[in-house]
Amino acid sequence: MTFCIACASPIGKASTSCPNCGATYVAAIAGTEVPSSAGAPAGRANFLRLLYLAPVVLLFVVAGGLVQRHTAEQQLLASAYAAAQGAASAGELVAAREAFSAIAGYRDAASQAEAMEIRLEPLEASYLDGLHALEQGDFATAVRLLEPVAEQAPDLRDSVARLDDARRLLSEELKRNVDASETIRDWAAAEQTLRELVALDPSDNGSRLRLGAMQREHGPIVLGNDRALWLVAPDGSDPRQLTDEVHVIWPVWSPDRSQIAFLAPDPDDPMGNVSLYRIAIDGSSPERLVDGVSAHAAPAWSPGGSHIAYTSFAGYDPVYETGSIGVRVVDVETGEETDLTGAEYPLAFNPSWSPDGTEIAFIVKHQGISERPQHSPGDVVVAELGQEGFENVTGGAVRDVWSVSWSPDGKYMLLYSLFGQTWYEPPTTSIRLLDRGTGKLEQIAGIDERPTMPVWSPDGARFAFTVEETSIVLADTEDNRETIEVAEALSGEVSWSPDGLALLLAPWDADTSSSVVDLSGAEPAVSSVRIEFDSSPPFISPPQWAPAVALPPDANPALVPSGRAEPPSS
């Protein structure tokens, strides 16, 4: 008897299924009967299906892996392409060329690599030419050729190292040339070579200080003497006449020292016309720019040297004393003249440029009937070039203002006041400092001191003016002040040396000596120098030191050549 293992019902030996529950049995090995559940056929079917599906599943797995790998590769290529683009945008041409070449098959990387190669070709050629110049001992040419390579493609071969070699060798050559020029007393050549040295290496403070000393001791001074235009050395030696074609008044250096502007009256004009001229220091003939210029003040070069501002009498009738006196600007190359004040201000004069050349400050007088300009109330007005409108920066606070001088950094203005000055009445003068940012006014010198017009030092750290005819005052914007006594009576005409470490003070009487104040030592040293110049109105042409030609910024701005170079302490 056999029992169903599913429901325990008796089953006959011959039966293959349980009569009660229907469970099917198969014969087991060795005559044993093993029951089989009803789901056995479905299980086998599922197993067979899995066997059939296995290749498909494997195919999907492999395909998924390939897709994932391709996606990762594309991401890497995209990242490498972006890095190459970044290198190109940053101007890293060599790195960009190598990066694009490494992924030449991706997008337009091959053409981008070719574009980088095209941009590098002239630099490669300049590099090779620079190496050749270096081997030939032409160090100046080597520097000129290698500089753009090192700047635009510093990773191109060893361009930076080769440029350093060229600069070092050129510096040694220039220093030898300076020594040779000094030996034969060719100060102009020595000064020019020192400027090249400082431009070559702005961190070379030794050459910078040597240049300042040479300009102070041997730099040219311009002046008018016997109505002709002259250059002399600071000690009055080596005179060189530039022109005597016209009568010279108020000569002024251009910022780059290549030209001189001056005024000249027409001796054949009964109305007293005065013209503005310029002349190159190479000795060429003077060029007349405009007529109808006031002879009472020097013309003012723009900081860039392209324009000159001046007080114009072109709209004034001296016979009937009618019309306008205004401020005008002339383009020195084209001769185009611009009336800055026009009909807005009928009496404006004494222009002063802002250090960036975008604005001009000038004096406006509100003149009453039968009132002289030096008795009329006035203001300082600023005009922005190319823009309409004016800015009154004093607003009646300095009624007797006569001239304005913008500081080299543009933060301050020195206001010189003058009241009176008739044949029977000596002028009263004073100096105020105007803070352009805050509008604050501070008195620097009062009428009891009889100060003359102040002059900023080249670096703007201080300014100088004379008082009581025998004293020079050094002051700064922090109200520090120092007074130095001199022997001769001073006219008030002050000129700074290019390095700001000396002052040339013209005398009141041109038959006496000028005074030189050396500020390069621990204490100021005063000496005399005989320089002949015209001092009788209207032919006033006081000596003016040549300005310092603009140099690269000092790599060590904290460097102070001597204790005297700092602003004076109170």
Convert 532-545 into a string of H (helix), E (strand) and C (coil).
CCCEECCEECCCEE
Is pLDDT above 70 for 3? no
What percent of the chain stands above pLDDT 90? 62
- Tokens (6 digits) for 205: 């403070």
What is the structure's pLDDT at 31?
43
| 204: three-class secondary structure by DSSP | coil
Is pLDDT above 50 for 193? yes
User: Quick check: is 320 in a domain?
Assistant: yes
Chain-centroid distance of CA 277 in Å reads: 29
- Of 495, 513, 528, the residue at which a domain comes to its end is 495
User: Quick check: is 559 in a domain?
Assistant: no
Distance in angstroms (rounded) separating the CA atoms of residues 254 and 164: 34
Phi and psi, residue 407, nearest 5°:
-70, 150
What is the structure's pLDDT at 563?
36
The predicted-structure confidence for 293-317, as pLDDT tens digits, reads as follows 999 889 999 999 999 999 999 988 8
| DSSP 8-state assignment for residue 17 | B
Give the pLDDT band of residue 1 (cuts 50, 70, 90).
low
Is pLDDT above 70 for 25? no
32 DSSP β-pair partners: none
Cβ-based neighbours of 523, under 8 Å, separated by 6 or more: 564
The predicted-structure confidence for 459-471, as pLDDT tens digits, reads as follows 999 999 999 888 9
Of residues 566 and 247, more confidence is placed in 247
Sign of CA dihedral 37, 42, 43, 45: positive
Phi and psi, residue 47, nearest 5°:
-60, -45
Give the pLDDT band of residue 357 (cuts 50, 70, 90).
very high
Geometric angle at alpha carbon 524, from 221 and 494, rounded to 5° = 35
What is the structure's pLDDT at 419?
85
- Of 445, 473, 495, the residue at which a domain comes to its end is 495
- Of the candidates 331, 332, 329, 335, the residue with the CA atom closest to the CA atom of residue 348: 329
pTM metric for this prediction: 0.75
What is the structure's pLDDT at 69?
77
Query: Residue 272: which CATH number?
Result: 2.120.10.30
User: Quick check: is 454 in a domain?
Assistant: yes
Of residues 425 and 276, more confidence is placed in 276
Mean pLDDT, residues 224-252: 94
Mean pLDDT, residues 132-138: 96
Is pLDDT above 70 for 494? yes
Is pLDDT above 80 for 63? no
Phi and psi, residue 73, nearest 5°:
-65, -40
What is the structure's pLDDT at 471?
95
User: Quick check: is 344 in a domain?
Assistant: yes
What is the structure's pLDDT at 568?
36
- Of the candidates 508, 528, 509, 525, the residue with the CA atom closest to the CA atom of residue 517: 525
- Of the candidates 135, 187, 193, the residue with the CA atom closest to the CA atom of residue 166: 135
Structure-derived torsion over alpha carbons of residues 548, 553, 559, 563, reported in degrees to the nearest 10: 30
Number of structural domains (the chain) is 2
- Tokens (6 digits) for 449: 């001191």
Domain that holds residue 293: 246-495
**Mean of the per-residue pLDDT values of the chain:** 86
- Of 442, 469, 495, the residue at which a domain comes to its end is 495
User: Quick check: is 263 in a domain?
Assistant: yes
Q: Is 138 exposed, middle or buried (0-12, 13-18, 19+ CB in 10 A)?
A: middle
Beta strands in 315-377 (DSSP E): 316-317, 322-323, 326-331, 337-339, 348-353, 359-365
User: Quick check: is 223 in a domain?
Assistant: no
Give the best-scoring range by mean pLDDT among 27-36, 98-107, 178-187: 178-187
CA–CA distances in Å: residue 384 to residues 325, 340, 379, 388, 458: 19, 10, 16, 8, 24
User: Quick check: is 10 in a domain?
Assistant: yes
What is the structure's pLDDT at 318?
75
User: Quick check: is 382 in a domain?
Assistant: yes
Is pLDDT above 50 for 225? yes
